[in-house]
Amino acid sequence: MQTQLRIAVQKSGRLSDDSIQLIRECGIKFYNGAGKLKTEATNFPAELLFLRDDDIPRYVEDGVADIGIIGENVFVETQSQADLVKRLGFSKCRLSLALPKAVDYQGVQQFDGMRIATSYPNLLNKYFAGKGIKADIHEISGSVEIAPSIGLADAVCDIVSSGSTLLSNGLKEVETIFESEAVMIARKELGPLKEAILKKLLFRIESVQKAKG
Ligand code: PRP
Ligand code: MG
Ligand code: ZN
């Protein structure tokens, strides 16, 4: 069988549509039937895997996938050993600290001693370490914005894109700690055959990006 590059993309979420669109704009054709988690391209030596975004850095590191499209936020948080090969410019968002609307915000030192819910403990710890702040960080994997209203935390640190999730949970964004966009990552030592396929893909992505200006 011909060598194929295994590309991991998010199954559903903020990154998935744009990731799939980029691959199609590169002229790569594939069928993605509802619920199908793996599909082969029909005109390019590649296979697509549809996975949870948080799992992608690990799969790429372990060689289950060769490359992946992922938010830089997840890539950095997971401390993945994969290589960042290309910034993709879509799915821009930020990781921010947010407080209940009614709380008066005086400055970042206010977070000292607070209980903060987040799915990004590594990024948050690093940010606080740089400011000499000691907070009680509670890692939760989802629905972070609900934490203050149920008494689980005083503040949250989560991804903000449009801001509507914060708004509908009575929170306000007060500090941005990390800016993110979609990136392509690759596992180390792909070998010459897969390197060549990746090079071809990157060349096509650059053409697509140039055409868009
Ligand atoms: C983030 C975050 C919010 C939402 C914010 O989730 O956890 O739920 O996006 O977006 P908004 O400001 O436009 O309302 P993400 O897309 O990273 O999904 P996941 O946590 O399920 O991986
Ligand atoms: Mg996620
Ligand atoms: Zn605690």
Rounded-to-integer distance, Cα 141 and Cα 24, Å: 31
Same domain, 83 and 35: yes
Q: Residues 6 or more apart from 78 whose CB is under 8 A from it?
A: 54, 57, 58
Domain co-membership, 12 together with 72: yes
- Kindly state whether residues 174 and 102 are assigned to the same domain: yes
Whether 48 and 120 map to the same domain: the answer is no
Whether ligand 1 lies within 6 angstroms of the CB of 143 is answered as no
Over residues 47-69, the pLDDT tens digits come to 999 999 999 999 999 999 999 99
How many structural domains are present in the chain? 2
Expressed as residue numbers, the domain containing 189 is 5-91+181-212
Looking at the structure, tell me whether residues 86 and 98 fall in a common domain: no
- Say if residue 143 is in the same domain as residue 205: no
Nearest ligand to residue 180 Cα: 1
Query: Do 175 and 185 fall into the same domain?
Result: no
Q: In the chain, pLDDT over 70 holds for what percent of residues?
A: 100
C-alpha separations of 36 from 21, 30, 158 in Å: 17, 12, 30
Strands (E) across 119-192 are located at: 136-139, 155-160, 171-180, 182-186
- What pLDDT is recorded for position 1? 67
Is residue 42 located within the same domain as residue 69?
A: yes
Share of the chain above pLDDT 90, in %: 95
Ligand 1 atom 2, closest CA: 159
115/155 same-domain check: yes
Per-residue pLDDT band at 212 (split at 50, 70, 90) = confident
What value of ipTM does the predicted structure carry? 0.91
CB 82 within 8 A of CB 185: yes
CATH number for position 65: 3.40.190.10
Closest CA to 60 of 198, 200, 196, 188: 188
Q: What is the pLDDT of residues 64-104, one digit of tens each?
A: 999 999 999 999 999 999 999 999 999 999 999 999 999 99
With helix as H, strand as E and coil as C, how does 37-98 read?
CEEEECCCCEEEEEECHHHHHHHHHHCCCCEEEEEHHHHHHCCCCCEEEEECCCCCEEEEEE
Candidates 6, 2, 3, 4; CA nearest to 185 is 6
120 and 87 part of one domain: no
Report the pLDDT value the prediction gives residue 32, as an integer from 0 to 100. Answer: 80
Mean pLDDT of the chain: 96
My answer on whether 67 and 119 are in the same domain is no
Tokens of 15: 């990154």
Measured CA to CA, the distance from residue 110 to residue 34 in angstroms comes to 47
Q: Is the CB of 66 under 6 A from ligand 1?
A: no
As a 3-state breakdown, the chain gives helix, strand, coil percent values, each rounded to 5, of 35, 30, 35
Ligand having the closest approach to the CA of 154: 3
14 lines ligand 1 (CB under 6 A): yes
Residues 49, 69 share a domain: yes
Q: Measured from the CB, is residue 165 less than 6 Å from ligand 1?
A: yes
Q: Model's pTM, two decimal places? A: 0.92
Q: What is the pLDDT of residues 113-155, one digit of tens each?
A: 999 999 999 999 999 999 999 999 999 999 999 999 999 999 9
